[in-house]
Amino acid sequence: MVLPYTSKTHSVTEQELIAACQRRDRTAQKYLFDRYSAKMYGICKRYVKDHQEAEDVLIDGMFKVLTKIDDFRGAGSFEGWIRRIMVNQSLMFLRKRNELKFAQEINNLELTSNISVEDDMAAREILALLDQLPTGYRTVFNLYVVEGYKHREIAEELGISINTSKSQLILAKKRMKDLIIKNNV
């Protein structure tokens, strides 16, 4: 079965796309890349500051998606599965570069925080602020706030303690608040 990608009027279902990619259909693979690359680049960019390096992580991640697509079992969303791969590729990149350095754990710190970023803040402004955070702060902030990981999951993923994850998040939120005030965002 060949998918009719050339027809702009035909919408390919996710199941058709996955099946074609599992058959290693090059046209389907290009279509998958075109369909998801912009959103997945945004995920990589949240973790990796440099545009070129974020593109490299995206390419590595999409290669992994295409070579591991037989592992997708349909449990959960396909986009969520791809997103998880991109987050893992970004973290692996940071680990290889030894950029995941964390501030010393803070003891006896109040762990509640009422710092919030305005909902209507433009995505560009948020990314610009995130780029100003140290890698450790930015990584924990992304995993917790954006990806929805729990501190236990972050600690396991990054090889840090749960309290370090909590400390990094609090410090990241404080730094974000300071940057918002400083930049009059």
Q: What is the CATH number of the domain that holds 166?
A: 1.10.10.10
Domain limit, last residue, from 52, 80, 96? 96
Q: What is the pLDDT of residues 38-73, one digit of tens each?
A: 999 999 998 998 999 999 999 999 999 999 999 998
SS3 135: helix
76 shares a domain with 136:
no
- Say how far apart CA 19 and CA 16 lie, in whole Å: 5
The phi and psi torsions of 85 (rounded to 5 degrees) equal -60, -45
**152 within domain boundaries:** yes
102: pLDDT confidence band, cut at 50, 70 and 90?
low
What tokens were used for 6? Answer: 């050339």
SS3 140: helix
Looking at residue 13, the DSSP 8-state letter turns out to be P
Token pair 């925080």 is at which residue? 113
pTM, two decimal places:
0.68
User: What is the number of residues in the chain?
Assistant: 185
Domain limit, last residue, from 60, 81, 96? 96
Backbone Cα Rg of the chain:
19
91 shares a domain with 132:
no
* Non-local CB neighbours of 40 within 8 Å, separated by 6+ positions: 58, 61, 62, 82, 83, 86
Enclosing domain of residue 51: 14-96
**116 within domain boundaries:** no
Q: Quick one: angle between helices 51-67 and 26-47, nearest 10?
A: 140
**9 within domain boundaries:** no
127 shares a domain with 63:
no
SS3 22: helix
SS3 24: coil
**7 within domain boundaries:** no
Measured between alpha carbons, how far is residue 24 from residues 69, 70, 112, 123, 175 in Å? 10, 10, 49, 35, 46
What tokens were used for 116? Answer: 């919030």
Looking at the chain, the whole-number percentage of residues with pLDDT higher than 70 is 79
* 31 in Cβ contact with 5 (< 8 Å): yes
Q: What is the pLDDT of residues 152-183, one digit of tens each?
A: 999 988 888 999 899 999 998 898 888 888 87
**176 within domain boundaries:** yes
Q: What total of structural domains would you count in the chain?
A: 2
Q: Domain containing 58 — which CATH number?
A: 1.10.1740.10
For range 124-150, the mean pLDDT: 85
At residue 105, what is the residue type? Answer: E
